[in-house]
Amino acid sequence: MSGVCIVGVGIHKFGRTEELSGLDQGVFAVREALADAGIEWPQVQFAYGASDAAGNPDTMVDRLGLTGVQFINVRNGCAAGGSALFSAQMAIASGQFDIGVAVGFDKHPRGAFNALPSEYNLPDWYGEAGFMVTTQFFAAKIMRYMAQFGISQEALGRVAEKAFRNGAKAPHAWRRTPVSLEEILEAPLVSDPYTKYMFCSPAEGGVALVLASEKKARELGKPMIRLKAATMRTRPPHSFEVFAPSIDVVADDSGPRGTATRIASADAFAMAGMGPGDIDVAQLQDTEAGAEIMHMAENGFCAHGEQEQWLIEGRTEIGGALPVNTDGGCLACGEPIGASGLRQVYENVVQLRGHGGERQVPGDPRTAYSHVYGAPGVSAVTILER
């Protein structure tokens, strides 16, 4: 994977931008990324675009230029952006192309995501019974996890408190006001044990990345941010995933073990020739506060049950041993599905370039990790190295 580099990044701020469509925000991000890379749209050989609710990304060629470029749409739940990046890097790693774009954007209506049973090959009664309400699923999942590994509600609050504190330092974040731990814990419950500050909100935004072969990156004279690994995996048997809130009884020890995240993470580390201890900064999927906690362990950064002590000791803070979600993650930025996974990689590039400003990780970070998770059990992981 050392032959693929990220040479340009662009972002449209997340949150609500009433005057712009989701496509507008995606186009903005692409233009920013092209300018950052020092190239023009006619030089782009291919593009992969992700959007869930704001139209087909390939239609942005009307705005960027009718060059005949191949532009492929990607739709893969909350992992759509990560899947677009995975696809784009394969196109360059194959040797067929030298430079291309991965872009994601979305513009969701206010309120909860309205996932439909038919989109996931589920019967109508599944939705009528309330099982498509993701706040309920994630609450059930974290309740089980808390009981298994001794995690408290206060730990959930600490994750949210960190997110809003970091988001206040990120110009592209939506929620830019710190919220105290006390206020987070005493806020109204949405789904026990989650209060309203412990869930992210559907949002708007756009992110674009320009990928190039190492040879092309050198020609452009860009900083060498290498994509050491990119993986995307689906769920194995017996994993506890969104839109399947139950676990099969396993009669024996045969068959795959773990989750989509564990598989994607292990494969990414193997591909990069690294381990969790080699990572300087990480962005982990945090659609709700408990997701960050569970994903710390699923991605191999700590053992199950150790997260509470990590949070108390500040190990995931910007100045900690492993800074996690340095721009506030989904909790502070919100989640425009098509853009969310690419935002994580954007943030990692910013950190590796040393351009993080108030949120910059100290110590000259050289490696960065991102993980995105989506329904019905899809995970994508990337590892960058400067």
Q: Domain map of the chain by residue range? A: 4-109+203-214
> Which pLDDT belongs to residue 1?
44
H-helix or E-strand containing 382?
strand 378-385
Q: What is the pLDDT of residues 248-297, one digit of tens each?
A: 655 444 444 689 999 999 999 999 999 999 999 999 999 999 999 999 99
Low-confidence ranges of the chain (pLDDT < 50): 1-2, 251-256
Q: What is the mean pLDDT of the chain?
A: 92
> Which pLDDT belongs to residue 248?
65
Cβ–Cβ under 8 Å, residues 367 and 331: no
> Which pLDDT belongs to residue 257?
63
Cβ–Cβ under 8 Å, residues 274 and 362: no
Structure tokens belonging to residue 326:
């340095």
Query: What is the CA 347 to chain-centroid distance, rounded?
Result: 10
> Which pLDDT belongs to residue 250?
55
* Global pTM exceeds 0.75: yes
Closest residue by Cα to residue 269 from 228, 211, 213: 228
Q: Which amino acid is at 24?
A: D
**CA–CA distance, 4 with 89 (Å, rounded to integer):** 7
Q: How far separated are the first and last CA of the chain, in Å rounded?
A: 13
Closest residue by Cα to residue 333 from 163, 79, 159: 163
Write the CA distances from 60 to 33, 57, 301, 311, integer angstroms.
15, 6, 39, 42
Closest residue by Cα to residue 144 from 196, 192, 181, 199: 192
**CA–CA distance, 73 with 47 (Å, rounded to integer):** 9
The packing angle between helices 22-37 and 337-353, to 10°, is 20
Going by the DSSP 8-state scheme, the letter that residue 244 receives in this structure is B
Structure tokens belonging to residue 193:
């044990």
H-helix or E-strand containing 71?
strand 70-74
Write the CA distances from 99 to 43, 57, 92, 130, 283, integer angstroms.
8, 18, 7, 45, 25
Cis ω on the peptide bond leading into residue 376 (within 30° of 0)? yes
Q: Which CATH architecture has domain 4-109+203-214?
A: 3-Layer(aba) Sandwich (3.40)
Structure tokens belonging to residue 311:
């949070």
What dihedral angle (degrees, nearest 10) is formed by the CA atoms of 228, 232, 236, 241? 120
**CA–CA distance, 307 with 150 (Å, rounded to integer):** 10
Give 27's Cβ-side CA count (13 Å radius).
Answer: 16
Structure tokens belonging to residue 346:
């954007």
Closest residue by Cα to residue 276 from 308, 253, 242, 310: 310
> Which pLDDT belongs to residue 255?
47
